[in-house]
Amino acid sequence: MRATVIHGPNDIRIEEVPDPRIQRPTDAVVRVVNACICGSDLWAYRGVAAREAGQRIGHEFLGVVEEVGSEVSDFKPGDFVVAPFVWSDGTCDFCREGLHTSCPEGGFWGQVGYDGGQGEAVRVPYADGTLVRLPKEAAGDEKLLPGLLALSDVMSTGHHAAVSAGVKAGATVAVVGDGAVGLCGVLAAHRLGAGRIIALGRHQVRTDIARRFGATDVVAERGEAAIEAVKELTKGQGAHAVLEAVGTEESMRTAISVARDGGAVGYVGVPHGGSAGVDIGQMFGRNISLNGGVAPARAYIPELLPDVLSGAIEPGLVFDRTVDLAGVPDGYRAMDERTALKVRIGF
Amino acid sequence: MRATVIHGPNDIRIEEVPDPRIQRPTDAVVRVVNACICGSDLWAYRGVAAREAGQRIGHEFLGVVEEVGSEVSDFKPGDFVVAPFVWSDGTCDFCREGLHTSCPEGGFWGQVGYDGGQGEAVRVPYADGTLVRLPKEAAGDEKLLPGLLALSDVMSTGHHAAVSAGVKAGATVAVVGDGAVGLCGVLAAHRLGAGRIIALGRHQVRTDIARRFGATDVVAERGEAAIEAVKELTKGQGAHAVLEAVGTEESMRTAISVARDGGAVGYVGVPHGGSAGVDIGQMFGRNISLNGGVAPARAYIPELLPDVLSGAIEPGLVFDRTVDLAGVPDGYRAMDERTALKVRIGF
């Protein structure tokens, strides 16, 4: 089969790789229908996150089950499924508690020795613990596919940010980051009943989506000016809940600074600025909480799925370009240059 | 009157100062019956926290109302009261929400221009918003006084750590710090129904109190060895809730490291190590939360008071020495040298 392979910074190739096959009785093989490129893939693309030359890449996909191992009981060939961005055994303490990302048997698509999501097929470890079934009729529904695909990561991650920040009905929410996760965070906050949602972002194509997702205010400033602007919108108090969806030192500092005393920052941006943006002295005096981390998408998909199927939420709007597998290197370039927000890959 | 005054590092004096008097109609003057020395006072004593020469000190006291301003309606002369370690107006958004420490009109006893708790009397701003009434008969009860005094800070702060760390019935809790706040954290966790409480500490007089307060295990190791020991006690997983009651870089690192994936650190140790102990990378992958800050004692005292009065909890056991006002400088020395755990001041 063909799959996306990363050889080094700015070196993404489409190559012929071995077909996946059942290796353990709990495996399934899924033929990919849609995959996508994640903002976090760009850290590898830019050489900031280390990858071995020749490693697979991509961690978001949905597709059709092609084959299952002898111990897979919940899926059979032909099932239409979405995969969360980590696999998990579904039976350990953490999986049973809904923190599938801490499963000791878990792993991340594309890690050394495993298939990535940006390929024609994927061997799925612990299929019963990992995959979530989708309605078969959705497989051919071009209107539904993007939203279902978004469940694998960005919508679930945006939801995790909102839940971690403690978004409640009527709350004032600020969202730091206008990437796909930040936008999905806006959507998740809106879905949870936030009364006011302030989106921080300066790219109109993105802030337009933010407004469509429920943002009531947009702040285009950055740094100190952004902090001032949010304070001004909130009687000088800041937001009850802040969603941090970038992961840099500056974004974390902004997020903590715009939180209202007693409020919480839901952090889901993969940290690439160390802890320098976390000012524990400021947090202490103002009782700011920092909650979040890598999103247990597997736990959230069943809750979010009905709203995607009904059209109540349309996270698929974050996709503004679709490529075929051969177009993936171009897709990375476009996202790196911010000429595309999020790229979907059709097979 | 006589009061404790700090002139510089290691320079605590008892001096004659002006008698407090009503300055604003919302003031009260309280004649101090008991005060105490806090671990956080030692930061000033050691010169780590800046103080102006001649500034008052002490932020924990209980006493009898001597005089009230014309707008004080909840208290009258003769009332026996305890003061939380910050004053607050009781009417602002934050006070009504229970985060009195963020009251814009609030302040800290001993700040420049205000009386400290370690003196014969204190002018109390916003008496109605600040003070909590105690039963009159308790004023002369030497068995009850220490516990009531502990409500002003250490017991409320230990409770804040436990609440912030999300201690639930049956949970496994680890407490970093064997000072009075850490010990009160053990007591608070026990009161909230923790199933297992691991106290980190190496001074037997303190760990004996921890056990009396409900600790089921004591870990005497520090640093990496402490982390290993807690992991060993918890099937390699760590504690659901961790109470950080020190505030140094090492203690924060230990606290985060011994938290179970998905768990929370309730941080109440006044931060003196910057943010260096906060490893956001480790927190991210394991979904560790960091909640807490300066405790809104005013919000907690009404909840904790009945349990102190009934004897259900005895936080006063953290006091292992009592001095009179003249003995306060010796009290600081003893706490600095760790020959005393917490010093009570009788007037």
Judge whether residue A52 has pLDDT over 80: yes
Contact between B271 and A281 using a beta-carbon 8 Å cutoff:
yes
Angle made by CA atoms B307, B313, B318, in degrees to the nearest 5: 135
Same domain, B127 and B205: no
- Closest alpha carbon to A346 in A34, A5, A14: A34
The pLDDT score that the predictor gives to residue B4 is: 98
Rounded to whole angstroms, the maximal C-alpha distance in chain A is 61
Q: What is the DSSP string of A209-239?
A: HHHHHT-SEEE---HHHHHHHHHHHTTTS-E
Whether residue B246 is found in the same domain as residue B328: no
Q: Quick check: B322 and B172 in contact, CB under 8 A?
A: no
Q: Is the dihedral of CA B55, B61, B67, B70 positive or negative?
A: positive
pLDDT of residue A74: 98
In this structure, the number of other CB atoms found within 10 A of the CB of residue A104 comes to 13
What CATH number is associated with residue A223?
3.40.50.720
For A315, the token pair is 């996270």
My answer on whether A175 and A315 are in the same domain is no
Query: Which residue is associated with the tokens 């109440």?
Result: B268
Q: Does B275 touch chain A (CB under 8 A)?
A: yes
At residue A130, φ and ψ (nearest 5 deg) are -105, -50
How far is the alpha carbon of A94 from chain B, nearest alpha carbon, in Å?
A: 8
Distance to chain A for B194, nearest Cα, Å: 18
Q: Mutate which of B172, B280, B288, B300 to test chain A, going by most A C-beta atoms within 10 A?
A: B280
**What's A303's DSSP letter?**
H
Is residue B296 within 8 angstroms of chain A, CB to CB? Answer: yes
Taking an 8 Å cut-off on Cβ atoms, the answer to whether B287 and A267 are in contact is: no
Structural domain count, chain B: 2
Interchain proximity B262–A94, CB inside 8 Å: yes
Q: Does B284 sit within 8 Å of A267, measured CB to CB?
A: yes
Give the rounded percent of residues in chain B with a pLDDT score beyond 90. 96
| Distance to chain A for B167, nearest Cα, Å | 16
The CATH number assigned to the domain holding B60 equals: 3.90.180.10
| CB-based contact B126:B107 (threshold 8 Å) | no
Residue A278 in contact with partner chain B when CB distance is under 8 A = yes
Q: Is A224 on the interface with B (CB under 8 A)?
A: no
Q: Are A280 and B278 in contact (CB under 8 A)?
A: yes
- Closest Cα in chain B to A263: B291
- Domain final residue pick, B249, B270, B292: B292
Q: How confident is the model at residue B271 (pLDDT cuts 50, 70, 90)?
A: confident
Contact A252 B285 (CB under 8 A): no
Structure tokens at B299: 């919000």
B326 has a chain A CB within 8 A of its CB: no
A144 and A164 belong to one structural domain:
no
Of A177-181, A275-279, B263-267, B295-299, the one with minimum mean pLDDT is: A275-279
Q: Identify the pLDDT of residue A109.
A: 98
Tell whether A50 lies on the interface with B, counting CB pairs under 8 A. Answer: no
Out of B250, B276, B292, a domain closes at: B292
Task: Please report where in the chains the tokens 């020749």 appear, as a residue.
Answer: A54
The pLDDT of A72-85, averaged and rounded, is: 98
Task: Quote the CA–CA distance of A145 and A232 in Å, as a whole number.
Answer: 40
**Whose structure tokens read 């613990």?**
A129
Q: Taking 80 as the threshold, does the pLDDT of residue A180 lie above it?
A: yes
Percent of chain A's residues with pLDDT above 70: 100
SS3 label, residue A49: coil
What pLDDT, on a 0 to 100 scale, did the predictor assign at position A275? 81
Provide the H-helix boundaries in A165-220. Answer: 180-191, 204-213
Residues of A in contact with B252 (CB under 8 A): 280
* B280: containing domain: 158-292
Are the Cβ atoms of B275 and A271 closer than 8 angstroms? no
Q: What pLDDT band is residue A273 in, cutting at 50, 70 and 90?
A: confident
Interchain contact B99–A (C-beta under 8 A): yes
pLDDT of residue A202: 92
Residue pair A122/A83 in contact (Cβ under 8 Å)? The answer is: yes
Mean pLDDT over each residue of chain B, to the nearest integer: 97
* A287 contacts B280? CB cut-off 8 A: no
Per DSSP, what are the bridge partners of residue A239? A259
Same domain, A147 and A16: yes
Using the predicted structure, report yes or no on whether residue B6 has a pLDDT greater than 80: yes
B-chain residues within 8 Å CB-CB of A296? 287
Label residue B52 exposed, middle or buried (CB < 10 Å: 0-12, 13-18, 19+): exposed
How confident is the model at residue B270, as a pLDDT?
A: 87
Q: Judge whether B294 is closer than 8 Å to chain A, CB to CB.
A: yes
- The whole-number pLDDT of residue B275 equals 81
* DSSP letter for each residue of B190-215: HHTT-SEEEEE---HHHHHHHHHHT-
CB-based contact (8 Å) between A290 and chain B?
Answer: yes
pLDDT in tens, B92-145: 999 999 999 999 999 999 999 999 999 999 999 999 999 999 999 999 999 999
How many CB atoms lie under 10 A from the CB of residue B281? 13
Q: Note whether A21 and A140 are same-domain residues.
A: yes
In a shared domain, residues A269 and A309:
no
Residue to mutate among B248, B290, B300, with most A CBs inside 10 A, is B290
Nearest neighbour of A287 by CB, restricted to B93, B270, B292: B292
pLDDT at B86 over 80: yes
Residue A146 has pLDDT above 90, yes or no: yes
**Dist. CA B286–CA B259, nearest whole Å:** 9
- B54 and B74 housed in the same domain: yes
Q: Do B61 and B177 sit in the same domain of this protein?
A: no
From the list B97, B252, B287, which residue is nearest A293 (CB)? Answer: B287
Residues 6+ apart with CB under 8 A from B137: none
A138 plus A44 within the same structural domain = yes
Residues A195-245: tens digit of each pLDDT: 999 999 999 999 999 999 999 999 999 999 999 999 999 999 999 999 999
Pick the last residue of a domain from A248, A264, A292: A292
Burial class (CB in 10 A: 0-12, 13-18, 19+), A37: buried
Residues of B in contact with A270 (CB under 8 A): 284
pLDDT at A276 > cutoff 90: no
Two structure tokens written together for B243: 């109470």
Which residue is associated with the tokens 């309605």? A135
Residue A66: band (very low, low, confident or very high) from pLDDT cuts 50, 70, 90: very high
Asked if B291 lies within 8 A of A286 by C-beta distance, the reply is: no
> Are B176 and B248 spatial neighbours (Cβ–Cβ below 8 Å)?
no
Inter-chain touch A290–B293, beta carbons under 8 Å: no
Give A82's strand partners: A62, A132
pLDDT in tens, B162-191: 999 999 999 999 999 999 999 999 999 999
Check whether residue B119 and residue B183 sit in a common domain.
Answer: no
How close, in Å, is residue B208 to chain A by CA atoms?
A: 30
Interval B213-243: pLDDT, tens: 999 999 999 999 999 999 999 999 999 999 9
Residue percentage of chain B with pLDDT more than 70: 100
Q: Which of the 8 DSSP states describes residue B19?
A: P
Question: What's the pLDDT at A124?
Answer: 98
**Chain B from 149 to 208: CB within 8 A of any A CB:** 164
Across the range A102-120, mean pLDDT stands at 98
pLDDT tens-digit series, residues A280-296: 999 999 999 999 999 99
Tokens 């956001």, residue? B280
Whether B99 and A271 lie within 8 Å, measured CB to CB = no
B324 close to A (CB below 8 A)? no
Complex confidence, ipTM: 0.96
**pLDDT value of residue B274:** 76
From the list B270, B283, B293, the residue facing A293 with the nearest CB is B283
Are A236 and A275 found together in one domain?
yes
- Mean of pLDDT values over A323-335: 98
